[in-house]
Structure 1
Amino acid sequence: MRLRLAAIMLALVASAGIATAQHHGHHDHGSHGGALPADARERVAFPPELAEHTLANMRDHLLALQQINEALAAGDMDQAGRIAEQRLGMTSLRLHGAAEVARFMPRGMQEAGTAMHKAASRFAIEAQNAGVTGEIKPALTALAETMAACVGCHAGYRLR
């Protein structure tokens, strides 16, 4: 069961990430003849202290995703949901100072962030449901959407 769960998670995350990156024009065509393509992401200017704060938040988001995966691997759906809501979901917005940071973001970056936070909250709910019903696919779909929003944002934007 755990191997099946891991395989499903990887397939969902990989397909969502590839689709999002391709949607933003970042296709992997294999070898680039030894040279990396120019970074075409939109550069977003944040005040230095907010840039550091935002980068620290993104590292924490990545750590939260790792911890969610660990909880899923252990079969602890409630813990996975708690981590998602507290660190990534809509509940986390105040903790991360989202209102202050959002005013420096282009609209697309704001929309990607909102999509990520909403998908994480959906995952938290679906993870709780899965703990009761055993039906994990809706939770994994919401987790894939959460990660796809991250991938899409990082594919399209970078802080300067």
Structure 2
Amino acid sequence: MKVKALALMAALFAGQALAEDHRQLATLPPAAKEALREEMLGNLLAINEILTLMAAGKVKEAGQLAETTLGQSAQGKHRDKPFDARPGPHMPPAMHGIGNDGHVAASEFARAAIRGDREQALALLPKLTSACVACHYSYRTR
């Protein structure tokens, strides 16, 4: 009985939290929204793999992956798509800026990791993930 009561309370609080979502709505065309969603899922996988590589002591490999998937080298992956399928031009300017900051942070991490500087790479890793947190904490697409 206690479990059901706790589950009901959790559901009520979750519903209240969703109703009070104060993040800014970024209205993107459906194709751009889908492209952004796919990119964010890919980024999540990349961050997980980067952390796995770092934990395994494969620092240079983590840096190479960070640059190719998240760094400045990864920018512009949607430029060949039709305008309505490109997320960047439809984002609020501050949201776009956070995304750019994330690419820069990923490249900074990557440079340190590729040099084999594990301590510097670890010190830079929170800056990379902070860009993700800042954007997801501030913006939503639905």
Bin the TM-score by the shorter chain: 0.7 to 0.9
Please tell me the residue identity of whatever aligns with 1:95.
K
Question: What are the superposed Cα offsets for residues 58-116 of structure 1, whole Å, 9 maximum, x if unpaired?
Answer: 01001000000111011011110011000000000122449932211111101110110
CA distance in 2, matches of 1:44, 1:153: 11
Whole-Å separation in 1 of the counterparts to 2:110 and 2:78: 18
Q: Distance in 2 between matches of 1:121 and 1:47?
A: 29
1:90 aligned residue (46, 59, 72): 72
With the length of structure 1 as denominator, give the TM-score of the two structures.
0.71
Q: Match for residue 119 of structure 2?
A: 137
Task: Let me know the Cα RMSD of the aligned residues.
Answer: 2.1
**Fraction of identical pairs, as percent:** 35
Aligned residues: 125
Structure 2, unaligned stretches of length 5 or more?
Answer: 1-11
Q: Which has the higher contact order (CA 8 A, sep 6+)?
A: 1
Structure 1 residues without counterparts, runs of 5 or longer: 1-32
Q: 2:113 aligns with which of 127, 147, 153?
A: 127
Structure with the greater alpha carbon radius of gyration: 2
Map residues 106-125 of structure 1 onto 2, 5 A cutoff: 106-125=92-111
Question: Following the alignment from structure 1 to structure 2, what is the Cα–Cα distance between the partners of residues 97 and 141?
Answer: 32
More helix by share: 2
